[in-house]
Amino acid sequence: MNIWPYMAAFSSSFAVTFVLTPIVREMNRRLGMVDKPGARRINTVPVPRGGGLALVVGVLAACAIVAMFFNRLGTASPSGIDVSTFCKLGVLSVAIAALGYIDDKFSLPPKAKLAGQLAVAALVWLWADLGFHRLWPGINPVLDLAITTFWIAGAINAFNLIDGLDGLASGLALIATIGMAGALFMVGAAPAAMFHFAFAGALLAFLRYNYHPASVFLGDCGSMFIGFTLAVMPLATQTPNSFMVSVGVPLLAMGVPVFDTALAIVRRSLRHLLRRRSSVDAGNDKVMTADADHIHHRILRAAKLNQRRAAWILYLAAAFFVTVGLGGIALQSRAAGLWLFAVAIASIAIFKDVSRIELFDAGRLLSAIARDRDRVNRRRIARLATPFYLAFDVFALVAVFFLCHWVMRIEIDRAEIRVALPIRVVSVFTFLFFLNAYRTVWARAMSSNYIRLMLACMFGSALGTVAIYYAPNVDHAKPMAMTLLYASTSCIALVLARVVRGAVRDIFYSIDCSRLKGRKDVSRVLVYGSGLRYRAFRRELVRNTAANDRIIVGLIDDDILLRGRYIGGLKVLGPLMQAPEFINELNVDAVVVACEVKPEWRKIIHDTLAPTGVKITHFSFSERELEW
C-alpha cells in the first residue's frame, strides 16, 4: 500500500493548522472574541475563542489535496465520493463553520442556531445526496431525510456541548477519527480513509494550542465543524451491508459526546417541568439553557478541578468505546455480540454515578406530581390507576401464556391462540374482579390483598384449564403442570406491577441519600432500634425525598443476632453501649430512638448518649383521645 498520499493529507493539514492557529487567535482577540472568566467558565484568564477557523482552513486545504489526488487517478474513492460531492460537502462545512463563527462573535439565539444546523444537515441529503440509502437501499426517502438530519444535527450539538474543557472536544474528535479510519482499513476501504488522515492532522495541530492550559478555544465555529465532519465522513464512506463501519463504530467513537447530550436533554427537560410546577425551584427554566452539570463538569469536580486529569479520563473512555467497535468488526461472528454486551456492562459500571442528578430530578418531578394537592390533578392520577392495572394485567397474562408454552415446549397453533389464550386470560380476570382486585388501593395494600391476588390466579388458572379441556380442537397436553405454572407465573407478574411503586420510591430514596452524602448541611442520623418503628421512620423519610435534610448512616440494636446484618440497606452496628463509639466514628449529628422505651431504660439511653452532645429524639406512633 502506498502510504505517501495518507502522509501528504496528514502533514499538509497539520502544517496549515499549526501555522494559522496563532494568527487566528490574535485576530479573534482583536475582534473582542474572548471568553472571560465567569460562573460557567472554567478558564481563570481571558482566552480567545473561535480558533476553530484555523482548523477549518487546514482540513479543507488538505481535503483539496486528497480530492486532486483522486482526480489525477481519474477515479472516485472506493466509497463513491467524486470531486462534485467533495465540493458540495466543502461548501456545507464552510456554512456550518460560518454559522458557528457568527455565534462566537454575536451570540445567536439557541433556536436560530439550531435552525441553521438543521438546514445544513438537510442539505447534505437534498444537495450532496448523502444519507443512509446506500446502507439500506430500500429505505423510504422521507425517513432517510429525517434520520440523516437527526444524525448530523445530533453530532454537531454533541460536540458543541462537550466542548467545556481545554482540549476535550478536539481530543475526543481525534480519537473518533482514528477509530473510523481504523474501521475502513479493516474492511479493505483504505483509500477512503485519506479524508480521515487530513482531519486527524488538523486536530492534532490544533490540540497543541488547545490542550491545558489552552491559549485558544475552538468556539462554536470549531466544535460545530468537528461534529459536522465526524457525522458526514461515515455517510460518505457508506456501502451496502457496512452497518458497523457506517454506524456502529462512528456511534461508539462519538459515545462520550452523544451520552452527554442525551443526559443534557433529559436533565434540562426535567428541570423545565419542575420549574413550571414550582416557581421556587432554582433549576434552569428553559430546555436550551446552559448548565454546569455536563459529564466533563462532574468529572472535573471529582478530579478536584484538575482539567488534564478530567480530560484524560474522558479520552480513555472514548478510546475504550473505539476499541470495542473495532473489536466487533474484527470478530465478525457471534462473539461480536458478546463483545458488545460486555461493553454495555462496562458502560453501566463506568457511568453508574453520572446520571445521579437526572434520576434525582426525575424523582422530584414524580414526587411533585404524586403529591399535587390540586383536586383536578389528583382526580386524573386516581383515574389512571385502574386503567394502568387493567392494561398491564392483560399484557402480563398474555405474555405469561406464551412463556408457559415455551417453557413446557408445547406448540402454539391457531387454535391455541384463538381459544386457549382468551379462555385463560378471561378466567383469571373473572376472579380478579370477583375478589375486588381493581377496587383495592395497592399503594396501601396489606398481606390479605396479595393473598386474594394469589387466589385469583390459582382459581382462574384452574377454571381456564377445565374450560380448555372441554373446548374442541385444543391440545390438552400436561393440564396439571400448565395450571400450576400459569398460576404461579401470572401471580408473580401481577404482584410485581403492584409493588413497583414502593420499589421505585426506595430507589429514589437511595439516590437521594447518595446525593446528600456530599452536602455539609445534612443531619447524619443514627437510629436505635430496627423493628417496626424504624421501618415507619424510614418510610417517612422516603415519602419526603424532595424536602429531606437527614440521612440515616447506621442502626444500633441490642439484639445480638442482628449484629453485623443489614436491614433496609443499613448495617446493624452493635448495641446501645457502643453508640458513643459509632457516633464519633460516623460523625453523627442526632440519634433517633425508634423503639418502645420504658422510663428506666430512657435514663440509660440519656446517660449513654448525653456525653456525646448529639441531639436525641424519640419516634413513636401512639393512639390518643381527640381533645375538643
DSSP string across 448-503: HHHHHHHHHHHHHHHHHHHHHHHSTT---SSHHHHHHHHHHHHHHHHHHHHHHHHH
What is the total residue count of the chain?
A: 628
Confidence of residue 346 (pLDDT cuts 50, 70, 90): low
Confidence of residue 460 (pLDDT cuts 50, 70, 90): very high
246-251 CB contacts, 8 Å cutoff, 24+ apart = 246/132, 246/135, 247/135, 248/325, 248/328, 248/329, 249/179, 249/180, 249/183, 249/322, 249/325, 249/326, 249/328, 249/329, 250/176, 250/180
Which three cell numbers mark 618? 424519640
Give the highest mean pLDDT range of 13-17, 38-42, 44-48, 605-609.
13-17
Which three cell numbers mark 302? 471529582
Backbone angles phi and psi of 396, in degrees to 5: -65, -45
Radius of gyration of the chain (CA): 31
Backbone angles phi and psi of 567, in degrees to 5: -130, 115
Query: According to the model, what pLDDT value does residue 447 have?
Result: 83
Query: According to the model, what pLDDT value does residue 80 have?
Result: 47
Which distant-in-sequence residues (6+ apart) come within 8 Å of 347 by Cβ?
A: none
Using the 8-state DSSP alphabet, how is residue 128 labeled? S
Q: CA quadruple 482, 488, 492, 495: dihedral positive or negative? A: positive
State pTM to two decimals: 0.67
Lowest mean pLDDT among 62-76, 87-101, 149-163, 313-327: 62-76
pLDDT at 496 over 70: yes
Query: According to the model, what pLDDT value does residue 541 have?
Result: 74
pLDDT at 280 over 50: no
Query: According to the model, what pLDDT value does residue 472 have?
Result: 75
Lowest mean pLDDT among 16-20, 110-114, 350-354, 592-596: 350-354
Query: According to the model, what pLDDT value does residue 125 have?
Result: 93
- Would you call 603 exposed, middle or buried from its count of C-beta atoms within 10 A (0-12, 13-18, 19+)? exposed
pLDDT > 90 in the chain, percent: 33
Which three cell numbers mark 282? 432554582
Query: According to the model, what pLDDT value does residue 74 have?
Result: 45
How much is the average pLDDT of 454-478?
Answer: 84
Query: According to the model, what pLDDT value does residue 349 have?
Result: 61
Between the CA of residue 137 and those of 58, 134, 192, what are the distances in Å? 34, 5, 21
Confidence of residue 516 (pLDDT cuts 50, 70, 90): low
Element housing 233 (H / E): helix 219-236
Query: According to the model, what pLDDT value does residue 263 have?
Result: 81
Name the one residue in this structure whose C-alpha cell is 397474562.
397
pLDDT at 112 over 80: yes
pLDDT (tens digit per residue) in 532-577: 888 888 877 766 655 567 888 889 999 888 888 888 778 899 999 9
pLDDT at 28 over 90: yes
> Which domains occur in the chain, in start order?
7-361 (no CATH), 375-506 (no CATH), 519-618 (3.40.50.720)
Using the 8-state DSSP alphabet, how is residue 6 labeled? H
Q: Alpha-carbon distance 164 to 354, whole Å?
A: 17
pLDDT (tens digit per residue) in 566-593: 887 788 999 999 999 999 998 899 999 9
How much is the average pLDDT of 331-335?
Answer: 59
How much is the average pLDDT of 391-397?
Answer: 88
pLDDT > 70 in the chain, percent: 79
pLDDT (tens digit per residue) in 204-214: 999 999 998 89
pLDDT at 258 over 70: yes
Q: At what angle do helices 83-106 and 219-236 cross, to 10 degrees?
A: 160
pLDDT at 154 over 80: yes
Query: According to the model, what pLDDT value does residue 151 have?
Result: 95
pLDDT at 281 over 60: no
More confident residue, 340 or 269: 269
Query: According to the model, what pLDDT value does residue 97 have?
Result: 95
SS3 per residue for 538-556:
HHHHHHCCCCCCEEEEEEE
How much is the average pLDDT of 41-56?
Answer: 87
Around Cβ 571, how many Cβ atoms within 10 Å?
14
Query: According to the model, what pLDDT value does residue 298 have?
Result: 81
Using the 8-state DSSP alphabet, how is residue 333 labeled? S
Lowest mean pLDDT among 32-36, 358-362, 449-453: 358-362
Q: What mean pLDDT is reported for the chain?
A: 82
pLDDT at 223 over 70: yes
Residue 591: strand pairing partners: 526, 616
